[in-house]
Structure 1
Amino acid sequence: MSEHTEDRFAPLPGGTRICYRMDGEYGAPPVLLIAGLAEDLTTWSDRFVSALTATGFLVIRMDNRDCGRSTYATTPPPNTLQQLLGKARRDAYTLADMADDAAQLIEHLGLGPTHAVGRSMGGMIAQTVAARYPEQTASLTSLYSTTGNPKVGQPAPSTMALIASPPPRDRVGAVRAHLRMTAHLAGTAYPVDEVEEAAHAVTTWNRTAGDGDAGTARQIQAIAASGDRTAELARITAPTLVINGDRDLIVAPSGGDATAAAIPHARHIVIPGMGHHLPDALALRIADHVVAHIEKVAV
């Protein structure tokens, strides 16, 4: 029986409620997709998800806490200066807390060992799941992510200037901001489809069930509060694939190099011209890499 795409909710032991969707056949090998900073579950396009389900996987997409339709924290967000300086408040949650959410969602669904795929901040979360929940992790794919080492994977000054821009106040502003940032991050080989991206920005705006700006600030803070995770990554035993582009302006390619170096026996693929974006023009290529990695693990 196939599962139809719809928002569902999982109440977790700590009180957080995670919104998720499932696509594919019950009983098929599960793949958990974890999105990045300020990205809701719809960031994983239907084309990418369909490429995985067509190959015989059950795909779970989740809204991280402080994003989409999942629970929003009640603690104050860090101010702009704290974000730029990487200073976390004492009441900050961490990437480990977000990894706990993902692991508890899988336990709630009763799925057993799962193939974890994360992009950007979601890659950091997926890495943390693999390090802390090895029994739940069948494989790991880390997509344009990094280790937390401040010497690698840092954003370009031009990207920092865009991040520091005033947040949009309405849906039209959100679409414009998304198009501006996506065009900046997309790389050189895969142009932005403005119609596709505008539609995605509208969907994200409509699905945001809390204070999105505060949520994004707290997610940035979670990265800062987690520090350098290189030593933790060395404990990962799950077969790992690291993918990044060579034109990434928010997580410099050195972050991918460091991730692959930190995780024992990780395979590393660098895609020429790719930036910090997964458009439909790249969806099938990246899905093919993920499927090949998972199938190699299963042999």
Structure 2
Amino acid sequence: MPRVKFADLELEYDTFGDPADPALVLVMGLGAQMTTWDEGFCRLFADQGFHVVRYDNRDVGLSTWLDLPLPDLPAVAAGDLTTAPYRLADLADDLVGLLDALGIDRAHVVGASMGGMIVQQAAIDHPERLLSLCSIMSTTGDPSVGQGKPEVIATLAQPSPPTREGIIEQRLAASRMTRSPGFDVDDDLARERIAASHDRSHRPLASLRHLAAVLASPDRTPGLRGVTVPTLVVHGSADPLVGVSGGEATAAAVPDAELLVVDGMGHDLPEQVWPTIVEAVTRNAKRASRT
């Protein structure tokens, strides 16, 4: 896969569809690689006439791993931000750096979980670079909304086991807690995907830095009130990690935003919901072309 270089970073990316079509950039969440956006999902967007770009955020996948001290998460959560290596605004700047390197003037952007926070921040800081915005299973940064279930958060916070098989089984157990209860999931396929992700790149400390970026960043609600690009907010009714109130608050903050709550969807993107999400994102993108 290719890389782009800017500042002190290299970002790994790949594409689907015709480069002559409007760009649609997919931004993944905390500690997650771009391959979490399934190729089949990406190709559905390409079939709708988008040039799809997915990429690894800094510190994850095959993008630049920053040689920095680990953050003191309790201190960051308490308001001492001195050990937070970067903020969501920096990750939003990375998105714009990717657009610059690829020669893309403006793009439709879709972000999931922390990726939703990144694209929200991009809409606030770089509105001239966005055509439309879609925030999936994310929240505003207001601590009163979007809270996850404590038992799920505790499971995800466990340290990684020392072996490959142990790590895969731990991640599979976590996925069983966060996946969509309203849809069938093939456990063997889930294990296969987790193993492939581990073998592509295993950077367990990335999640700590990404979490520090989330904790160190301010509530985006005031900034979201000024967003003018067509906006779609997608959330699962059964999301145990980022409660649906996070999506509701995001949609309420952005003027004229559309809220799509998918019944039975958790904190994942089961194949059964792909057509619904692709259709909604495409419809939202057409709002941009009309304006």
TM bucket by the smaller chain?
A: over 0.9
Question: What are the residue-to-residue correspondences of 1:150-229 with 2, within 5 Å?
Answer: 150-208=143-201, 212-229=203-220
Output the CA distance in 2 between the equivalents of 1:254 and 1:91.
27
2:44 corresponds to which residue?
A: 51
- The match for 1:291 among 277, 282, 289 is 282
> More displaced, 68-77 or 95-104?
68-77
Alignment correspondent of 1:122: 115
Query: Could you tell me which amino acid in structure 2 is paired with residue 32 of structure 1?
Result: V
1:106 aligns with 2:90: no
Give the TM-score of the pair, scaled to structure 1.
0.92
Aligned residue pairs, count: 290
Which residue does 1:8 correspond to in 2? 2
Counterparts of 1:99 and 1:197 in 2: how far apart (Å)? 30
Paired with 2:70 and 2:16, the residues of 1 have a C-alpha distance of: 34
- 1:135 counterpart letter in structure 2: E
- Pick closer, same or farther for the CA change 1:19–1:288 going to 2, 3 Å: same
Deviation at 1:80, TM superposition (A): 6.0
* 1:247 partner letter: A
Distance 1:156 1:85, change over 3 A: farther
1:70-111 per-residue CA deviation (whole Å, 9 max, x = no partner) reads: 111211222564577676443520000000000110011011
Q: Deviations over 1:21-43 (max 9, x none)?
A: 11111110100000011110100
Query: In the alignment, which residue of structure 2 is the partner of 1:39?
Result: 32
Residues in 2 aligned to 1:30 and 1:137: alpha-carbon distance in whole angstroms: 10
Q: Which residue number corresponds to residue 139 of structure 2? A: 146
Residue of structure 1 in register with 2:127 after alignment? 134
- Matching residue's letter, 2:282: V
Question: Does the 8 Å contact 1:88/1:222 carry over to 2?
Answer: no
Deviation of 1:170 (Å): 2.9
Q: Which residue of 2 aligns with 1:4?
A: none
CA RMSD of aligned residues (A): 1.7
Q: CA deviation at 1:167?
A: 1.3
- State the distance in 1 between where 2:130 and 2:253 align: 17
In 2 relative to 1, CA 79–213 (structure 1 residues): closer, same or farther, beyond 3 Å?
farther
SS in 2 for 1:148: coil
In the superposition, relative to structure 1, how do residues 200 and 87 fare at CA in structure 2: closer, same or farther (>3 Å)? farther
State which of 89, 94, 97 in structure 1 corresponds to 2:90.
97
Q: Residues 173 and 85 from structure 1, CA distance in 2 versus in 1: closer, same or farther, beyond 3 angstroms?
A: farther
* TM superposition score normalised by structure 2: 0.94
SS across alignment from 2:204 = helix
Gaps of 5+ in 1: 1-6
Give the Å deviation of 1:295.
Answer: 2.3
Question: Structure 1 residues 86-95 or 23-32, which shifts more?
Answer: 86-95
Of 53, 65, 72, the residue aligned with 2:58 is 65
In structure 1, the partner of 2:14 is: 21
Q: Distance in 2 between matches of 1:105 and 1:262?
A: 27
Structure 1 residue matching 2:146: 3-state secondary structure: coil
- Name the SS of the counterpart of 1:11 in structure 2: strand
